[in-house]
Amino acid sequence: MLSYTYMASAWSFGSLSGRLNWSFTGGANRNSFHNRNKSTRKSLTSTQQRRSKTPWHKPLTNAIFSSHFKEASRNDQFHIVDLVAKGAFGVVFKVINKRYAQDLTQQQQTTAAANCSATTPLHPAPIYALKVLKKSKIIEENSVQQIKDEADIQKLCGHHSFIVQQVDSWQNRRNLHILSEYVPNGELFTKLTHFSLDLIRVYLAEIALAIDFLHNAGVIYRDVKPENILLTANFHIKITDFGLSKWLRLGATTRTMCGTFQYMGTI
């Protein structure tokens, strides 16, 4: 046992001595060692530099919204016709697609030249509502998830007959953009006069159908008011502005109080 221990110790010391002799005795060995170390250090430094220079492809304000708003530059595709509304985070414009507007102008010129306006119908360029929201304001008010929910809900539920349909959404460096169908007859609020009983029943039924559809989809709307109910060309209703809407699973409740004070009921 003693002999085995001595041999093992001698082997370890000898191996260590061999390594020391190889490392520090003899010019060739010393140069080889330093060259290898220099090469290793250079390789490590190069790797660290590559890692430190890894590009950050998206600014933080873009990355926050990237799951819901793709990055694009489309503002130059639309011509602003009018300012429709102002809100807490931005504005809504009435816009027209420039390409379609150019096609319409060419069509009108061709029709006038051919003098066949009676037989050649003109197809008007599509008009949209473009909501432009300031990202800095949204982040400042801690409303990032609220805006994401708004975009999601309108995108997924906008195919309903009585809900404003979202056409597209994107972001640039400063703003979020939500492009929706344009509802030409404006807010129900501006038409509040003496409605007939039959018309009131129709509007109540259409609003109830839209709210019921949202509830079945797991959405609570939370801001029913005449300003958020738009009238189509045929004077049917369309619900808009899902800024206070929220996804809510079956049986769950919400503890927040929100809405427009003048239209909030009391218990």
Query: Side chain identity at 233, as an amino acid letter?
Result: A
Residues 6+ apart with CB under 8 A from 233: 184, 185
Strand ranges (E), the chain: 70-71, 78-86, 90-97, 127-134, 166-171, 175-181, 219-220, 229-231, 237-239, 246-247
Distant-in-sequence contacts of 186-195, Cβ < 8 A, 24+ apart: 186/230, 186/231, 187/226, 187/227, 187/228, 187/229, 187/230, 187/231, 188/226, 188/227, 188/229, 188/230, 188/231, 188/237, 189/225, 189/226, 189/227, 189/229, 191/231, 192/226
Which residue in the list 82, 152, 198, 223 is annotated as catalytic?
223
Q: Is 223 a catalytic residue?
A: yes
As annotated, the active-site residues are 223
